[in-house]
Amino acid sequence: MTRSSIFAASFILFLLSGCAQKTMTLEERLATLPAESIKEIEADSMFHKAYEIDFTQPVDHNNPDGPKFTQQVFLNYVGPDKPVVVVTEGYSARNGKTELADMLQCNQIIIEHRYFEDSRPDTIDWQYLTTWQAATDHHCIIEFFKPLFPGKWLTTGISKGGQTVMFHSYYYPDDVDVRVPYVGPLAFGPEDARMKPFLENVGTEECRKRIFDFQKLVLEKADILFPKMLKLAEEKAWTFGRVGGPEAAYEMTVLEYEFAFWQWGTLTCESIPLEGSDDEIFNHLARIGDFRYFADQGIEYFEPFFYQAMTELGYYGYDFDKFEGMLRYVRNTDMPEFLFSAPAGIEYIFNYETGRGVDNYLKSDAENFIFLYGEYDPWSAAAADPGSNDRCMVFIKEEGAHGTRIRNLATDQQEVVFSKLEEWLESPVVKKEK
């Protein structure tokens, strides 16, 4: 029997014995971990100890005796008398102190999403990259650590990680006490129809016009700017086979510019260099539009996400109509625009029931959710909507973008969030000056 099989067997026996209801010490819990490796790592000064764990999971939770993979988990330990913040990453994971763990001065578990970076099966079978399989990964890890932490539990995540919070709670509503998704969309299709009207009305008319004027400018100056992109791609060793060639990548970057400008909110509209030099215009486009997003090397990293986007999570498309006559290499089709970023050789059928099921759950049975969104972030077009369910709260940062966090909310909004966290978690919140 392999080490992972022994761990899995001991874990099952442990749960069946009823001991899961008994509080355990850190050493006792780590001794029974179903893991390929457990490594103590340097802890942030707030934590007493920290560990990097390769947690053993079945590729298919409906077949626990089948193929396994290891999921990267970071455990940051304060003590059994403190709450636990579980970070459900939507992509790969890096260890570090999160905003909520800092506020609550509590334990923290960070979980890398299945099929990303260090949490990939040896053989990729895409059919098992589903919201339910991922939620069950999180459920197993939470259940395993419950005997170590008998207090309150909270899940949180940013962007796709925020989506992951919603899906986990939808499938396992009793796992935790509080949920705080940051800027997490709940899209209803591979090209969510709510994005277009949002972008037609976001910000001011003057700013929207300036963005469009810049997009037209870089298309008009393609003969000058495109060679600069080729030079940059050569320096970075980027290739553009999947998107349809470097010319298509250039035009896709121009289309992406509008969404990215509003999403990140890092620059003012006045900073858009309509009268700038060719280098200023190119550098601005490269900074905001990000050519690497359409390079084979960038797509490779995001491929698991785009599989999910084309099957359950949803995404957005571009408004080709307003660029009529300006594009030479890309065009609108009857297929989702970002299908080229998803794994090839698969027939994609989007499951519309998943998102609608979560939407109904949020409007009816969900409780103790705190949703955060930025007013100008295009993902807020697909913001979760609990409707009349007053057990969930939505906070929108005025003119905020994808970097919206609790500590950059308006003061009155912060105070409500702090109050609710203290009420629901029965634990004080450390408040810091803005």
Cα–Cα distance measured from residue 227 to residue 229, given in angstroms and rounded to the nearest whole number: 5
pLDDT confidence tier of residue 431, bands split at 50, 70 and 90: confident
pLDDT in tens, 363-388: 999 999 999 999 999 999 999 999 99
Range of lowest pLDDT (10-19, 101-110, 204-213): 10-19
pLDDT value, residue 430: 87
pLDDT value, residue 290: 95
**Does residue 16 surpass a pLDDT of 60?**
no
Mean pLDDT of the chain, nearest integer = 94
**Does residue 17 surpass a pLDDT of 60?**
no
Cα–Cα distance measured from residue 211 to residue 203, given in angstroms and rounded to the nearest whole number: 11
Q: Give the pair of three-digit tokens for residue 402.
A: 């994808």
**Does residue 399 surpass a pLDDT of 80?**
yes
pLDDT value, residue 23: 79
pTM of the model: 0.93
- Sorted by sequence, the CB contacts under 8 Å of residue 156 that are 6+ apart come out as 85, 86, 87, 88, 98, 100, 162, 165, 179, 180, 181, 182
**Does residue 425 surpass a pLDDT of 70?**
yes
Select from 44, 173, 181 the least CA-distant residue to 108: 44
**Does residue 83 surpass a pLDDT of 70?**
yes
Beta strands 369-374 and 178-182 are parallel
281: enclosing H helix or E strand: helix 278-289
Question: Across residues 148-162, what is the average pLDDT?
Answer: 97
Axis-axis angle for helices 246-264, 278-289 (nearest 10):
70
Q: Are 164 and 134 in contact (CB under 8 A)?
A: yes
**Does residue 319 surpass a pLDDT of 80?**
yes
pLDDT value, residue 347: 95
**Does residue 308 surpass a pLDDT of 60?**
yes
pLDDT in tens, 334-371: 899 999 999 999 999 999 999 999 999 999 999 999 99
Starting at the edge strand found earlier in the chain, the sheet holding 49-58 runs 35-41, 49-58, 68-77, 107-111, 84-88, 153-158, 178-182, 369-374, 392-397
- Sorted by sequence, the CB contacts under 8 Å of residue 136 that are 6+ apart come out as 61, 171, 172
Domains in the chain with CATH codes: 3-189+353-425 (3.40.50.1820), 195-341 (no CATH)
pLDDT value, residue 281: 98
Q: What DSSP string describes 155-169?
A: EEEETHHHHHHHHHH
Q: Are 188 and 350 in contact (CB under 8 A)?
A: no
Axis-axis angle for helices 205-220, 278-289 (nearest 10):
110
Percentage of the chain beyond pLDDT 70 is 94
